[in-house]
Structure 1
């Protein structure tokens, strides 16, 4: 989950089912929030759970949509897709990660993304996190 210009929330799931994701969504996202997803059917219940929900249909070649004709494609999932692309690029040099180590890699990547600091400036927030 990723709010535009907000923090990313990552959870490793044992399975991808509505019963698994519903509590995570409810804990992280206020009811009434507009949520954009792809067409994966697991998201079909978002409106039943109290969220406004819009989709793009990747299987039909749709990646963004301008519904009000103002030239701005407001319906898209490009922000989270970009996050996953960065994560894959960051993990690629490691050439395989054990299942046991994956949560640590994901946690660190999440921290770096949410801190929005790069280079040496990242050391102080990281130490603060580790020492609390």
Structure 2
């Protein structure tokens, strides 16, 4: 198999049996393992497998313990959804995915969130081992001038009329990117040093070269890192090789995707969308097939609908 486009992928995965055999190879490499107890000696049945361990003896298929668990959608549709969600630079909405694949919008929404579960960072990425790291923060949300504070903030200004529209402040995100390498993006509650410093320490190797703007939240980086800054408030954007243009470019893709494709993202699921954009960016140098297979290897994550929609 060597596909470079969606039609080629669908031509190859015409039969469900082909999809199952392919995914079993990706997940088990020819050695099926019971997802319940880990036994390596299951035997094949007419509908899948059954564990031979007397204490387990449970039936299972290759879907159990993965993002595909309890899904009635065929693997062919799932594979097409994964291809579309991971190859579109700015993502794809559930409405558009539903139209493209002939499923309901509700199903497409759940499918996309399961795919995002697969794209989550499984282990902390370490940046700065090969190149300098740029760090910057961004604010996601509508323009403050459009939020009609005078009409909605009756909790702060009791004398003002409240039209029932809640005031939603912007969401702050911090981004760390290694030039020519990977990006790490995290939601943070506020722009203060004690919220951002632990993220940097977790993902950037000590002694690495770091470039930021003049924000006060980065004032202590020089203790652990080789820290250089550019003063954006003075219209200083590049000093030699010191700049934050790489992370600024990533912000443009993220914002255009969130505003143009998804329009509005709930705070509850916001971090899932960040995982999606980071995963796509970090696999940008792979071919379509390599990216597709790379994500399938990481698909052993279960996300149930009741857990996705429950109040948090």
Do both share a fold (TM > 0.5)?
Answer: yes
1:100 and 2:268 correspond:
yes
Deviation digits for residues 36-74 of structure 1, max 9, x if unmatched?
0011111111112x11111111111111112xxxxxxx0
Specify the alignment match of 1:82 in structure 2.
249
Residue among 206, 212, 218 paired with 1:31: 206
In 1, the alpha carbon distance for the partners of 2:287 and 2:180 equals 17
In 1, the alpha carbon distance for the partners of 2:295 and 2:205 equals 28
Structure 1: stretches of 5+ with no match in the other structure = 67-73
In 1, the alpha carbon distance for the partners of 2:287 and 2:254 equals 15
Deviation digits for residues 18-41 of structure 1, max 9, x if unmatched?
112222111111221111001111
1:130 and 2:305 correspond:
no
In 2, the alpha carbon distance for the partners of 1:56 and 1:75 equals 7
Give the TM-score normalised by the residue count of structure 1. Answer: 0.85
Distance 1:118 1:99, change over 3 A: farther
Specify the alignment match of 2:278 in structure 1.
110
Contact 1:9-1:110 at 8 Å conserved across structures: yes
Structure 1 residue 90, shift from structure 2 partner: 1.4
Specify the alignment match of 1:41 in structure 2.
216
Specify the alignment match of 2:228 in structure 1.
54
In 2, the alpha carbon distance for the partners of 1:47 and 1:129 equals 36
Structure 1 residue 7, shift from structure 2 partner: 0.9
Contact 1:56-1:62 at 8 Å conserved across structures: yes
Contact 1:112-1:118 at 8 Å conserved across structures: no
Deviation digits for residues 50-109 of structure 1, max 9, x if unmatched?
11111111111111112xxxxxxx010001011111111111221111111211111111
Larger radius of gyration, structure 1 or 2?
2
Number of equivalent positions: 124
Q: Alpha carbon RMSD of aligned pairs, Å? A: 1.6
**Secondary structure at 2:228 match in 1:** strand
Structure 1 residue 16, shift from structure 2 partner: 2.4
In 2, the alpha carbon distance for the partners of 1:118 and 1:15 equals 37
Residue among 175, 180, 183 paired with 1:5: 180
